[in-house]
Amino acid sequence: MDPAVEEAVTRSVLGKTKLDMEEITLLKKMFKYYDTDTDGHLTRDEASTLYRELGYTGGNHWSQKRVPLEAFLLKCGLEKKSMLESTSSVLEYRSIHTSRLLDQPLTGFTNSFKLKNYLNEVGLEIEEGRVERICEIIASGDEPEFSEEDLGEYISMNLRMAQGVANSMKEEEG
């Protein structure tokens, strides 16, 4: 893709969405990875697959057979905006988005197999037993799998605990 065209697309998307420059850069890299013929377009199926792998839902609604970079980025930006508006905080948005990244394909739950695959993809090698234990800790039920809500509650609980420890340390110093 022509660098001038790519820059124009970036400026357009920055002005029209809640995506920041870092997110746009990452999305462009992922798009280019899937764009094997380097024509600046993805097929409908490629765009849908990438969209889901990025933790977004509803990617099966591409009206055109070939999806250009700008249309893909704008759809990602609209999804982020929609998710931010439907959640009460940025933390909740990030928790939901993270859960969707882990839960591939989207089934509503993340088990140790899905978590281990994701961790391997990002370069973290953790023993199967430890991954299963992590799932058990996050899960609210008896099964070693957790839902979007379980992950959100786990993150919130740990942040409250960290804040309590920080407050306790300040009191001891003062």
- Residues 38-47: tens digit of each pLDDT: 888 999 889 9
By the 10 Å C-beta count (0-12 exposed, 13-18 middle, 19+ buried), 85 is classed as exposed
79 and 99 housed in the same domain: no
Report yes or no: 41 and 67 within 8 Å, Cβ to Cβ: yes
113 and 169 housed in the same domain: yes
82 and 95 housed in the same domain: no
pTM over 0.85: no
Average pLDDT (112-117) is: 94
Number of independent structural domains in the chain: 2
CATH number at residue 10: 1.10.238.10
Q: Above 70 in pLDDT, residue 136? A: yes
Cα-based angle 56, 151, 145 (whole degrees, multiple of 5): 95
166 and 117 housed in the same domain: yes
Q: What is the DSSP letter of 145?
A: E
Domain of 129, in residue numbers: 90-173
Q: Above 80 in pLDDT, residue 105? A: yes
10 and 59 housed in the same domain: yes
Predicted confidence band of residue 34 (pLDDT cuts 50, 70, 90): very high
57 and 31 housed in the same domain: yes
